[in-house]
Amino acid sequence: MILKIISAEDVVFSGEVDLVTLPGEKGAFTVLNNHASLISTLLPGKIIYDEGGKRSEVETTGGLVDVDNNVVSVCLY
């Protein structure tokens, strides 16, 4: 699936990932390939994603996420 993490200033990350874990309003949740569509607010925390076996993290102060058709779009505050 494709993960896009953007802020007002920059594209933080854009690429193919195996999974992404996000700090949601109701707790952390993980998105895998073919996940159901959803929209959620994000709280301060870490966005963790696996890219071909390599784990990476992005700190966030909050934002929004939209998951649809194997595209995870994260807009950071």
The pLDDT value recorded for residue 42 is 98
Query: Would you state the pLDDT for residue 10?
Result: 95
- Name the CATH topology of 2-76: ATP Synthase; domain 1 (2.60.15)
Q: To which residue do tokens 């996940």 refer?
A: 35
pLDDT (tens digit, 9 = 90+) per residue, 18-66?
Answer: 999 999 989 999 999 999 999 999 999 999 999 999 999 999 999 999 9
Report the relative pairing of strands 2-6 and 71-76 from DSSP bridges. parallel
**Residue of 22, 14, 74 whose CA lies nearest to 45:** 22
Q: Are strands 2-6 and 27-32 parallel, antiparallel or unpaired?
A: unpaired
Q: What is the pTM of this model?
A: 0.94
pLDDT at residue 9, rounded to an integer: 93
| Residue 2 banded pLDDT, cuts 50, 70, 90 | very high
